[in-house]
Amino acid sequence: MKLRHGPKLPRTYWLSRMLRGWRLDRNPVRRGSDRAETAVLGVLLAAFLAGAPFAGHAAGSWAYAASAREAQAQQARVHQVPATLLQAASPWTAYNSGDAPYVDARWRAPDGQVRTGQVFVLSAAAAGSTVMVWTNQAGQLTIPPLQDTQVVNRADQAATAAVADVARVDVPVVQPAPAQIAQLHALLAGAQRPVVIAGGSGWSAQGCANLACFAEANALPVACAFRNQDVFDNRHPNYAGDVGIGINPKLAARIRDADVLLVIGERLGEMVTGGYTLLAAPQSKQALIHVHPGADELGRVYQPALAIQTSVAPACAALAALAPIDAPAWSGSAAAAHAEYLAWQTPQPMPGSLDLWQIVATLRERLPEDTILASGAGNYATWLHRLYRYPAFRTQLAPYNGSMGYGVAAAIAAKAAHPDRTVVSWNGDGCFLMNGQELATAVQYRLGIVFVVVDNGMYGTIRMHQERQYPARVYATDLVNPDFAALARAYGADGETVSRTDQFAPALERALTAGRPALLHLLLDRQAITMNATIDDLRRQATAAPAPR
């Protein structure tokens, strides 16, 4: 028997409508009416199957009417409720006509819960005032006619969700055992060539200041772990450089030759150990003092001479309070390490008309001290890591796990959290292609970020590995890129192409003062694949002496 259906509606429509009715039965709000609808549709279907053709028609019409009723019901659930505004940033100055002033706000909803989210405010509403929050359970944003102090909840579901917010869990602070700090002091007092490596989680501006105080009092050279370069002022005379990809060979030698290695807060993984070569595992030649909050990390790969389980902040406070070691055997080593760090930044020639050494030097000179620099993963980032001097805590956002595209998203979050600070997002072309659509978010929230895209037309890092391991066998690493500057303009951001070094400083100036997102598209010579070798160099070296597999 052939199934028939109502006018203009395919039979699958009303069959699915029935199924939907059954599903909605579980929804306490809709339960009653949908059960009735389902029952009626069931009767009509049975009649239709029993040979009454009109029943198909009636079922279709019924389903149609039922869905209209449902839409109406959803509409009815859009309602205004009074809420108490607790805090709201001033609205943005109008971006362009028709643009809505969204601000971050906190308000107390009628159920007593405190909510946070982006809200739509016509004029600055004072904390404590009652505002109207519009909710819409269907998930569609409804913009009501606005009056002063009227607020629309954009995080639509948040104002009406029946579930409580997830409680914040603060990780307990673990204090170092005083006896272990005394042991640390004794080990250090007996050292000839100590080196400190700082990194990991749990840092604060105070913790960083305490570390600096400890380093100064004891003339210690301090290196920062991979992509944790902002826990020690890179301009400090005791700064020795960063321990990660593309480490300064002189710093690597200093760490290998150290007799006491004090590692504070950092996990001893592949990046910070030069692939487990700077320290022999499991028993390192250096007497290892490992200060870390996680019991699981201590002794996991390396057997330390002293393992101190403690949070970073109290550890640094305890170190700062230690009596300085008199006339240390290593005096002068911090200054030597810092000189080697500076020498490592001496500009080297690179192919093409765009010189990234000079460009990062321009960033160094021009950017305010509290600028946040966000980057992703790729060889393009090595110029930034090696040449930028991170001056203060929380000025570097970079993926410890090497995830590409991080520089875009991290910059957006940073600028949203710190609208008054300069934020630069430093990306490769491959990286930017992974998250570049978030330019729309930056434009939407009027986040004046400077996006830099270093475009070498390829996944350069992977090409580097190909040339080292399989010279001249290029596979799937070329990229066909859009005109990134034009793309930025299409999003509503500023966009400029920079193909020569001398164009960069004025373009940066315009981007910094644009008052909205701006993208600088840097056209890099394809040969500039690493900081010290071109594609041709790598190919030549690999052909002359094939890399061990």
- Considering the complex, state which of residue 239 and residue 459 has its C-beta at the smaller distance from Mg ion: 459
Query: From the CB of 304, what's the least distance to ligand TPP, in Å?
Result: 30
Residue keyed to tokens 């002022």 = 233
Query: From the CB of 378, what's the least distance to Mg ion, in Å?
Result: 6
Question: Per-residue contact track with Mg ion, 428 to 447, x per CB under 5 A?
Answer: xxx-----------------
Residue of 515, 451, 523, 510 whose CA lies nearest to 483: 523
Q: Is 459 near ligand TPP (CB under 6 A)?
A: yes
Question: Per-residue contact track with Mg ion, 261 to 280, x per CB under 5 A?
Answer: --------------------
Strands 114-121 and 151-153: antiparallel
Q: Is 456 near ligand TPP (CB under 6 A)?
A: yes
Question: Per-residue contact track with Mg ion, 400 to 429, x per CB under 5 A?
Answer: ----------------------------xx
Residue 132 Cα distances to 5, 16, 146, 161, 494, angstroms: 46, 38, 10, 17, 36
- Considering the complex, state which of residue 118 and residue 228 has its C-beta at the smaller distance from ligand TPP: 228
- Compute the distance between CA of residue 317 and CA of residue 210 in angstroms, rounded to an integer: 6
- E strand intervals along 109-145: 114-121, 130-135
Q: Is 241 near Mg ion (CB under 5 A)?
A: no
Query: From the CB of 68, what's the least distance to ligand TPP, in Å?
Result: 46
From the CA atom positions of the chain, what is the Rg in Å?
Answer: 31
Question: Sign of the C-alpha dihedral, residues 184, 189, 191, 197?
Answer: positive
Question: Sign of the C-alpha dihedral, residues 241, 243, 248, 249?
Answer: positive
Residue of 535, 539, 533, 505 whose CA lies nearest to 520: 505
Stretch that binds ligand TPP, among 6-14, 201-209, 271-279, 401-409 (CB under 6 A): 401-409
Question: Of 416, 462, 505, 514, which one interacts with ligand TPP (CB under 6 A)?
Answer: 462
Query: From the CB of 461, what's the least distance to ligand TPP, in Å?
Result: 4
CB 426 within 8 A of CB 384: yes
- Compute the distance between CA of residue 120 and CA of residue 152 in angstroms, rounded to an integer: 5
379 interface partner picked from ligand TPP, Mg ion, none, CB below 5 to 8 A per type: ligand TPP
- Considering the complex, state which of residue 199 and residue 428 has its C-beta at the smaller distance from Mg ion: 428
Q: Is 218 near ligand TPP (CB under 6 A)?
A: no
135 interface partner picked from ligand TPP, Mg ion, none, CB below 5 to 8 A per type: none
- Return all residues near 541 (Cβ < 8 A) that are at least 6 apart: 468, 533
The CB-side HSE value for 223 (13 A sphere, CA atoms) comes to 32
Q: Is 379 near ligand TPP (CB under 6 A)?
A: yes
Question: Of 181, 247, 411, 431, which one interacts with ligand TPP (CB under 6 A)?
Answer: 431
Residue keyed to tokens 């710190």 = 418
Q: Is 371 near ligand TPP (CB under 6 A)?
A: no
Question: Of 117, 241, 460, 471, which one interacts with Mg ion (CB under 5 A)?
Answer: 460
517 interface partner picked from Mg ion, ligand TPP, none, CB below 5 to 8 A per type: none
Q: Is 430 near ligand TPP (CB under 6 A)?
A: yes
359 interface partner picked from ligand TPP, Mg ion, none, CB below 5 to 8 A per type: none
- Considering the complex, state which of residue 246 and residue 402 has its C-beta at the smaller distance from ligand TPP: 402
The CB-side HSE value for 503 (13 A sphere, CA atoms) comes to 11
Q: Is 484 near ligand TPP (CB under 6 A)?
A: no
Q: Is 534 near ligand TPP (CB under 6 A)?
A: no
CB 330 within 8 A of CB 219: yes
The CB-side HSE value for 416 (13 A sphere, CA atoms) comes to 17
Question: Of 456, 481, 501, 534, which one interacts with Mg ion (CB under 5 A)?
Answer: 456
Strands 239-243 and 222-225: parallel
Q: How many CB atoms lie within 10 A of CB 23?
A: 12
- Compute the distance between CA of residue 157 and CA of residue 309 in angstroms, rounded to an integer: 42
- Strand order through the sheet with 423-428: 396-397, 372-375, 423-428, 450-455, 518-523, 494-498
Q: Is 461 near ligand TPP (CB under 6 A)?
A: yes
Question: Per-residue contact track with ligand TPP, 153 to 192, x per CB under 6 A?
Answer: ----------------------------------------
Q: Is 428 near ligand TPP (CB under 6 A)?
A: yes
210 interface partner picked from ligand TPP, Mg ion, none, CB below 5 to 8 A per type: none
- Considering the complex, state which of residue 207 and residue 436 has its C-beta at the smaller distance from ligand TPP: 436
CB 323 within 8 A of CB 206: no
Query: From the CB of 462, what's the least distance to Mg ion, in Å?
Result: 9
Q: Is 398 near ligand TPP (CB under 6 A)?
A: no
402 interface partner picked from ligand TPP, Mg ion, none, CB below 5 to 8 A per type: ligand TPP
Q: Is 530 near ligand TPP (CB under 6 A)?
A: no
- Considering the complex, state which of residue 428 and residue 517 has its C-beta at the smaller distance from ligand TPP: 428
- Considering the complex, state which of residue 34 and residue 242 has its C-beta at the smaller distance from ligand TPP: 242
383 interface partner picked from Mg ion, ligand TPP, none, CB below 5 to 8 A per type: none
CB 527 within 8 A of CB 352: yes
Question: Sign of the C-alpha dihedral, residues 118, 123, 124, 130?
Answer: negative
- Compute the distance between CA of residue 342 and CA of residue 159 in angstroms, rounded to an integer: 54
Q: Name the residues that contact ligand TPP, by CB under 6 A.
A: 377-380, 402-404, 428-431, 456, 458-462
Residues that bind Mg ion (CB under 5 A): 428-430, 456, 460
